[in-house]
């Protein structure tokens, strides 16, 4: 019977069916961070259990640790030091691989999983973090879980999982030069809504996806959770295999050929049936910016902000009103009417080398500097990204343009009571969530690609880069 990519991934890991809805799925890799992983490890210890396959579990420090140079266990987040120490102690006691604060391979969990070869095509990976779906960009079946499920995975190497539906999202046309993978995914969320992928495993397909680098694919899959999807996957191809070769936890030379042969079987058969299919034309895709407090509140960067009076139903109208009140925006105005206070490049969505290059090239080419009064930050996603960027002189490019250059971590992607943007600040950000208070109290976040963030930072107001 013809199968989808997801069907094949599922079948390859299905130990048995537990009921007509649920299967026991083998979990190849478990990745943890100090925010939620600490609790999963503590629960495991409280039950007197060990990690069943301790070489398959990895832990990093990314959420709570400071990203200012010279950092240590102290962090501005209340209680943060306890999370760091608890995680370190638990990881050592459980004898799992830990990428601690000053480890050269430390970084944001979803940035290091692919770059160290922990995540692989055709493999399952879970992490108590919603953006685990990023790893679908490699052709892995990866999804976010809660702490209790993470404990289950650590204890048993399995999870009891309800089988999601299949939904293929096919992009038609070539991606215009001014648009990026980030614009593609914001466009998808805008079209399908923040609940548009509920209960589904998405597959991103089409020539434009195949032309994306691995890093672009990771960006695309990263925000599947913003569609409420179970996860997203992209069929692995030569681009992925070339990317993985030689990475520390990737298959060694002895197994490489067998692994590659195995990986090549993971694609959707031409006649496979999907529960849903969506086709989106991107030939004329413009850079996308979010205006509201849900990623579905996104639009072409130069469009007008919607008028709640024109909303289709009362709940939407109220949601738009509330979002516009929070964001301090007028209906029918344009985003370019609004000055920004800050610009942020970073997060598991857009903190990889290609993202930094994209923003850095803009600064190099234009010779622009950050506009006066705008606080601008660039936070590389990992130690490896940071060193590679520095080897190309990107740190100097950012610094001399007026950006701060930080140590790797989640940083100001989210506010946990520590570092934050000023109360009420308007921030243009490469992150994935524009929820109320996400980057600080009353902070107004506009989601954008690295290119749009750097262009806005230099202009001092919301805009996109490129000829317009």
Partner 1 sequence: MQGFQSHTGVMMPLLRDNVDTDVIIPSREMRTVSKTGLLEGLFAPWRYLQVDERVPNTDFPMNQSSFNGASILLAGTNFGCGSSREHAVWALMEAGFRVVIAESFATIFFNNALRNGLLPVALSREALIDLMEWCAIDPQVHRPTVDLQTGTVEAGHQQIMFEMASDARTMLLSGLDEIGLTEQNRDAIETFENQDRQRRPWIYLDQR
Whose CA is closest to 237, among 203, 271, 269, 213? Answer: 213
Given a contact cutoff of 8 angstroms between Cβ atoms, the answer to whether 133 and 228 are in contact is no
Q: Which is nearer to partner 1, 177 or 253 (CB)?
A: 253
- Contact status: 259 vs partner 1 (CB under 8 A): yes
From residue 145 to residue 164, the character string flagging contacts with partner 1 as x (rule: CB under 8 A) and all else as - is xxxxx-xx--xxxx-x-x-x
107's contact among partner 1, ligand SF4, none, with CB below 5 to 8 A by partner kind, is: none
Q: Does 328 bind partner 1 (CB under 8 A)?
A: no
> Per CB under 8 A, which region of 249-257, 347-355, 362-370, 385-393 contacts partner 1?
249-257
**Residue of 45, 170, 249, 466 that binds partner 1 (CB under 8 A):** 249
Identified binder of ligand SF4 from the candidate list 406, 414, 425, 434, rule CB under 6 A? 414
Instruction: Show the CA angle centred on residue 427, arms to residues 284 and 439, nearest 5°.
Output: 115
Written as six digits, the tokens of 40 are 């999963």
Phi-psi map region of 447: left, alpha, beta (phi>0 left; psi -120 to 50 alpha): beta
What φ, ψ does residue 429 adopt, rounded to 5°?
-145, 140
Nearest approach in angstroms of CB 129 to ligand SF4 is: 5
Tokens of 129: 């973090």
Report the DSSP beta bridge partners of residue 212.
Answer: none
Among 75, 106, 294, 324, binds partner 1 (CB under 8 A): 294
- Contact assessment for residue 274 and residue 166, using Cβ atoms and an 8 Å cutoff: yes
Q: Is residue 63 within the footprint of ligand SF4 (CB under 6 A)?
A: yes
Least CB distance to ligand SF4 at residue 416 (A): 9
Q: Between 37 and 360, whose beta carbon lies closer to partner 1? A: 37
Which residue, 120 or 347, has its beta carbon nearer to ligand SF4? 347
| Residue 410 interacting with ligand SF4 (CB under 6 A) | yes
394-401 vs 383-391: helix axis angle to the nearest 10?
90
Binding partner 1 by CB under 8 A: which of 107, 121, 216, 251?
Answer: 251
Question: Among partner 1, ligand SF4, none, what binds residue 391 when CB lies within 5 to 8 Å by partner kind?
Answer: none
- Interacting partner of 413 out of ligand SF4, partner 1, none (Cβ under 5 to 8 A depending on kind): ligand SF4
* Interaction of residue 42 with partner 1, rule CB under 8 A: yes
| Sites for ligand SF4 among residues 106-125 (CB under 6 A) | 108-110
| 317-376 residues near ligand SF4, rule: CB under 6 A | 347-348
* Listed residue (205, 53, 43, 71) closest to 128, CA to CA: 43
Distances (CA, A) of 196 to 186, 223, 295, 368: 13, 12, 12, 39
The string of DSSP codes covering 219-265 is HHHHGGGGGTBSEEE----HHHHHHHTT-TTSPPHHHHHHHHHHHTT
According to CB under 8 A, which residues from 350 to 409 bind partner 1? Answer: none
Strand-strand pairing, 444-447 and 288-290? unpaired
Contacting residue, 2, 11, 15, 390, with partner 1 by CB under 8 A: 15
List contacts with ligand SF4 (CB under 6 A).
Answer: 62-63, 108-110, 129, 131, 347-348, 410, 413-414, 431-432
């Amino acid at each position: 019977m013809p199968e989808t990519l997801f069907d094949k991934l599922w079948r390859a890991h299905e130990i048995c069916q537990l009921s007509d809805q649920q299967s026991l799925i083998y979990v190849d890799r478990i990745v943890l961070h100090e925010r939620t992983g600490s609790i999963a490890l503590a629960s495991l210890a409280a039950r007197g259990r060990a990690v069943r396959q301790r070489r398959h579990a990895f832990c990093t420090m990314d959420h709570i640790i400071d990203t200012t140079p010279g950092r240590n266990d102290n962090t501005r987040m209340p209680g943060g030091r306890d999370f760091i120490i608890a995680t370190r102690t638990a990881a050592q006691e459980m004898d799992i691989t830990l990428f601690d604060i000053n480890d050269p391979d430390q970084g944001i969990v979803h940035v290091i999983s692919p770059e160290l070869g922990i995540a692989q095509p055709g493999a399952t990976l879970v992490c108590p973090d919603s953006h685990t779906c990023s790893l679908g960009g490699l052709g892995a079946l990866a999804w976010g879980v809660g702490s209790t499920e993470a404990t289950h995975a650590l204890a048993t190497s399995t999870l009891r999982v309800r089988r999601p539906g299949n939904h293929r999202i096919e992009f038609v046309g070539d991606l215009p030069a001014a648009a990026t993978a980030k614009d593609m995914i914001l466009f998808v969320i805008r079209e399908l809504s923040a609940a548009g992928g509920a209960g589904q495993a998405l597959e991103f397909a089409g020539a434009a996806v195949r032309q994306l680098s691995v890093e672009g694919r990771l960006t695309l899959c990263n925000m599947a959770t913003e569609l409420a999807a179970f996860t997203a996957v992209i069929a692995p191809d030569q681009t992925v295999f070339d990317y993985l070769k030689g990475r520390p936890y990737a298959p060694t030379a002895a197994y490489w050929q067998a692994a590659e042969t195995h990986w090549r079987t993971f694609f959707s058969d031409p006649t496979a049936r999907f529960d849903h299919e969506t086709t989106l034309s991107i030939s004329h895709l413009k850079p996308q910016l979010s205006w509201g407090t849900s990623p579905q509140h996104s639009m072409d960067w130069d469009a007008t902000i919607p008028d709640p009076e024109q909303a289709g139903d009362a709940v939407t109208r109220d949601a738009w009103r509330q979002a516009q009140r929070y964001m301090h925006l007028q209906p029918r105005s344009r985003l370019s009417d609004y000055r920004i206070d800050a610009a942020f490049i970073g997060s598991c969505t857009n903190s990889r080398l290609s993202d930094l290059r994209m923003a850095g090239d803009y600064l190099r080419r234009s010779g622009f500097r950050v506009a006066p009064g705008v606080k601008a930050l660039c936070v590389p996603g990992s130690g490896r990204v940071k060193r590679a960027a520095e080897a190309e002189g990107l740190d100097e490019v950012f610094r001399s343009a007026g950006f701060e250059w930080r140590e790797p971590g989640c940083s100001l992607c989210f506010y946990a009571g520590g570092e934050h943007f000023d109360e009420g600040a308007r921030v243009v950000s490469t992150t994935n969530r524009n929820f109320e208070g996400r980057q600080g109290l009353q902070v107004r976040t506009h989601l954008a690609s690295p290119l749009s963030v750097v262009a806005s930072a230099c202009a001092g107001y919301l805009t996109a880069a490129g000829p317009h």
